[in-house]
Structure 1
């Protein structure tokens, strides 16, 4: 049975991803900043017949909770097969390159960039004990420099979120370097945009959360012939899924 950790998984796309992976027979650690909320969700899931799901406290901005979560997974499982860095925040909107405060940048980067680095570095040894380790960094097409700078991109005039977008671009660069450093190993590491989805994050606008989760899971379960160090958005590119950085 493969072991999965999903950060920010007590609602939205993270929760749906946990549900679908559980149905596929994987053991899922449902990461939540508020362990009470996480445990309440897991209780509901088990009442609905979901198995192999366990709530675990992990706040990606708090190193002590990350270390505690790592120690728990190590004690209970001995390894980790899949890490899905899903936790993220959008920050205060609207976002202007001239008017957004440094504090706004710091707050968003703390979760979207530093949080990804903290969690990945903390769990890398446990992932290394897996025969097929996978890391999916949940990203967004809004973090693509190529698309953001192209007037031909459909959302060009309304997807201008400089704080959020730049944080995801930075996390994308981390993905590139991480994949490069682990290129000669069994690791597969990719950035995946689940698409514009109906969640609290988008004020319930966009596509179905079930489809968004499927897009993440596709790259969490790729085989050894699958890609690494790539950026995928099947919403932006339905043909191959890959989009430019």
Structure 2
């Protein structure tokens, strides 16, 4: 195992994922830039290296079993292990997503990336994480997935627009996070979910009010938790988000 902390960030070629990679890399970590597009991945690695970060590309399509397995082998060969996994890759799906009119294929595609993709990549990387002295898993969720906020008195304000594919995919991801927490109880793996806030990215047509760097801050904090830090929680910059 390398003496340097090793992190893999999925969907790290742009937006929040790229800023998470930059934030962790600025700590002196070695960063695997997970992305499926060869050109965008190479460009992201080049930008990070230009900033003095030890970055390396990891070809990764989170919807493909073979790709996830190959990514784990590459991280093992290139870095010798893995300490932190940030599951950031996500899609919004075609809009609008009114439940009475949505194409079920849209829901299926969003869940395949946002939920099953997280399970696929996490399981591929777990053998490496289990060897780490201080392993961390960070799942990038969203407050729109909070059932408490969805069912609150003003969901349009607290949980965003009606989106039967995207919002429930984050609810599903939150539930998956808790299931991993239960199974991994008693190990040294800390796993948490977080909301970056309403960040201006291509996922929302750049309508967000926060910068990608601001959105990345909570993931960087959870990736660097001390060994006695929390696990099985859902955070944003203000603190704990209700499930």
Q: TM-score, length-normalised on structure 1? A: 0.94
Moved over 6 A (4+): none
What's the offset of the Cα at 1:158? 4.3
Segment of structure 1 superposing worse, 11-20 or 199-208: 199-208
Gaps of 5+ in 1: none
| Paired position in structure 2 for 1:4 | 7
Residue 204 to residue 103, structure 1, CA distance change in 2 (3 Å): same
Segment of structure 1 superposing worse, 92-101 or 176-185: 92-101
| Paired position in structure 1 for 2:55 | 53
Q: Does 1:62 align with 2:64?
A: yes
Mapped partners of 2:147, 2:205: distance in 1: 25
Q: Does 1:31 align with 2:34?
A: yes
Mapped partners of 2:39, 2:18: distance in 1: 15
> Of residues 163, 167, 170 in structure 2, which corresponds to 1:168?
170
What's the offset of the Cα at 1:65? 1.3
Gaps of 5+ in 2: none
Contact 2:144 2:160 (C-alpha < 8 Å) held by counterparts = no
Mapped partners of 1:178, 1:161: distance in 2: 26
Mapped partners of 2:217, 2:235: distance in 1: 13
Deviation by residue 1:135-179 (Cα, 9 ceiling, x = unmatched): 000000000111011124562584321110111111111100101
Residue 36 to residue 157, structure 1, CA distance change in 2 (3 Å): closer
Mapped partners of 2:15, 2:6: distance in 1: 21
Deviation by residue 1:104-150 (Cα, 9 ceiling, x = unmatched): 11110110011001001111110000011000000000001110111
* Partner SS, residue 33 of structure 2: strand
| Paired position in structure 2 for 1:243 | 241
> Of residues 212, 218, 224 in structure 1, which corresponds to 2:221?
218
* Partner SS, residue 54 of structure 1: strand
| Paired position in structure 2 for 1:229 | 232
Q: Does 1:137 align with 2:139?
A: yes
> Of residues 170, 193, 204 in structure 1, which corresponds to 2:206?
204
* Partner SS, residue 69 of structure 2: helix
* Partner SS, residue 76 of structure 1: helix
Deviation by residue 1:174-216 (Cα, 9 ceiling, x = unmatched): 1001011111011100010011001111222221211111111
Mapped partners of 2:149, 2:7: distance in 1: 31
| Paired position in structure 2 for 1:76 | 78
What's the offset of the Cα at 1:41? 2.0
* Partner SS, residue 150 of structure 1: coil
RMSD: 1.3
Mapped partners of 2:160, 2:217: distance in 1: 26
